[in-house]
Every structure is written in C-alpha cells, then in structure tokens.
C-alpha cells in the first residue's frame, strides 16, 4: 500500500464520522486554497495486541521511522511521532497510548475487560488504522465512569482504532497562512474551536502554533441499549516555523498536544 492510498483510506473513514472535516476542507477550497495535511494522530491502549509496540512495525512498512517520544503525565499517556524516510512531503504520524495500569482499579477493570476481547492472533496491516472497535461497546455506566476519569479512555472505548484527526498545514496555504485568520474564518462559519489554554496553542518562538475544532458528535448505542451522543473526531490546524538553521520544525510540543487532546472532551 502506498502512502497516498493509506491516507486516502484514512480520510474516507474519517469523514464518515467527522463531516465537519470535509466541510472545513471545502471552505478552504472555496477560498482558493490547496489543503495539505501536516499529520494524523491515533490513540490506543497499552499492553494489548494493538499497543504502540505492535502498531509501530505496521507504520514502518509504509516507510516511516520513529522521530520523537513524548510523555503526558496528567493524561497518563506515552506517545511517538513518525516521519517518512524518503517522502519528505508525506504527512507525519502521531500515536499516543493510554497507560491502563496507571488508572484507578475500576477503570482498569473496565478497560481490561474490553481489550481482552481483542483477538490474540490478530493480523496487523495498515487496515488496522480504520478498523474501529475491536471489542464490544461498553455499557453506558462504564462509559460514564471512564469519562469521569479519562476522556481519552472513554473516547477510545467507543470509537476504537481509527484516525483521531487530520491537520491542515497552515504555512502551505496561500491566503490563510496566519493561524489567527484561520480561526476567525472557522468561527465565522460556526465551527466551535478548542479554547483550552487559548484558541492558539504554542507560539512562533516555540516554532509551532496549533488550533483545532471541537470534535463532531455521533450517536451510539451502548451495550445496555442506551443511546448517547458522544464526541467523534476533530480537525486540527498547525503552522510550523523555521529553526535557526532555516529548516522547518517537524516535531511536536507536549504542552500544545496536551491541550489539543481535549478537543474530544464532551462539551
């Protein structure tokens, strides 16, 4: 599978539960812009057949290599970023992993029960990244307990393994290459923005500015047949700046990403 095929499949899956993303893309196109993707992100659970150590080899088959490691203490997450070895224009990939063993015993019990349903002989290939849940839906009570402790855990328990967000590369836009202008455009069209820590996360001095919409909503039926509207996925916007050597910064800033995670919080 080529990288183009991989990201096309991801996008097609993404917009089925994130229609705002296609609406935002069309908005930029209508303003004469070509939308180029900076990176995508995925979420997963530790110590499972789909943890980071199992997903990394799949990413590597697409020509990627690890480029950075990150820790989010408060959210109990480890993460890695990946860059393509030969295709400089290929979007970056960011995978975070919830450390289940760091949660409370009730939360661990729920998540261990869900992840125990993942087949041990699961064959991993690029399609795992649009597979969705590999377990049954939790009950509404289990979901509520998870959400009180970890919005990340609650989101992953319902949405599963699929792309969490795409990211517009602002520095590659022709007219809207200022993050403030992007946010103003989005707000004028009624797209809710993540305001945690301010609508703009980061700064030119940090070589990276980011913002994002709040996640779309999707109605799901829980295992106890109760329906609830829960967050799905969101759209991110990133502007990268050149470093002292004139090279565009390609990494991620933990303080920014920590706030971007909250784009899937229930409002």
Q: How far apart are the C-alpha atoms of 43 and 21, rounded to whole Å?
A: 19
Q: How far apart are the C-alpha atoms of 17 and 22, rounded to whole Å?
A: 10
Q: How far apart are the C-alpha atoms of 135 and 159, rounded to whole Å?
A: 10
Q: pLDDT tens string for the chain (267 positions)? A: 899 999 999 999 999 999 999 999 999 999 999 999 999 999 999 999 999 999 999 999 999 999 999 999 999 999 999 999 999 899 999 999 999 999 999 999 999 999 999 988 888 999 999 999 999 999 999 999 999 999 999 999 999 999 999 999 999 999 998 999 999 999 999 999 999 888 999 999 999 999 999 999 999 999 999 999 999 999 999 999 999 999 999 988 887 788 888 888 875
Q: How far apart are the C-alpha atoms of 64 and 265, rounded to whole Å?
A: 30
Tokens representing 77? 């997450």
Q: How far apart are the C-alpha atoms of 145 and 113, rounded to whole Å?
A: 14
Domain count, the chain: 1
State which residues form the domain around 172.
Answer: 3-264
Q: pTM to 2 decimals? A: 0.94
Helical segments of the chain, H only: 3-17, 19-30, 52-61, 105-115, 140-149, 151-159, 179-188, 254-260
The β-bridge relationship of strands 227-231 and 217-221 is antiparallel
Orientation of helix 105-115 relative to helix 151-159, angle to 10°: 20
Q: What angle do CA 159, 216, 185 make, to 5 degrees?
A: 145
Tokens representing 72? 């989010």
Q: Which CATH number is 250's domain given?
A: 3.10.180.50
């Amino acid at each position: 599978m080529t990288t183009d095929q991989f990201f096309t499949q991801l996008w097609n899956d993404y917009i089925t539960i994130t229609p705002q993303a296609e609406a935002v893309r069309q908005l930029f196109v209508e303003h004469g812009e070509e939308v180029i993707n900076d990176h995508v992100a995925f979420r997963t659970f530790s110590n499972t057949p789909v943890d980071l150590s199992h997903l990394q080899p799949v990413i590597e088959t697409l020509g990627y290599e690890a480029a950075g490691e990150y820790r989010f203490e408060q959210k109990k997450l480890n993460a890695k970023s990946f860059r393509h070895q030969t295709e400089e224009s290929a979007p970056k990939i960011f995978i975070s992993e919830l450390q289940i063993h760091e949660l409370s015993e009730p939360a661990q019990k729920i998540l261990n029960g869900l992840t125990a349903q993942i087949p041990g002989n699961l064959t991993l290939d690029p399609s795992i990244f649009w597979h969705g849940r590999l377990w049954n839906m939790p009950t509404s009570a289990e979901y509520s307990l998870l959400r009180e402790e970890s919005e990340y855990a609650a989101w992953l328990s319902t949405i599963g393994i699929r792309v969490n967000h795409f990211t517009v590369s602002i520095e590659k836009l022709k007219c809207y290459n200022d993050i403030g202008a992007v946010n103003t455009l989005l707000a004028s069209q009624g797209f809710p923005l993540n305001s945690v820590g301010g609508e703009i996360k980061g700064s030119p001095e940090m070589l990276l500015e980011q913002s994002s919409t709040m996640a779309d909503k999707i109605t799901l039926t829980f295992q106890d047949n109760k329906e609830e509207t829960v967050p799905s996925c969101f759209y991110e916007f990133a502007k990268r700046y050149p470093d002292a050597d004139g090279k565009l910064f390609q990494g991620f800033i933990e303080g920014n990403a920590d706030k971007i995670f909250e784009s899937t919080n229930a409002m």
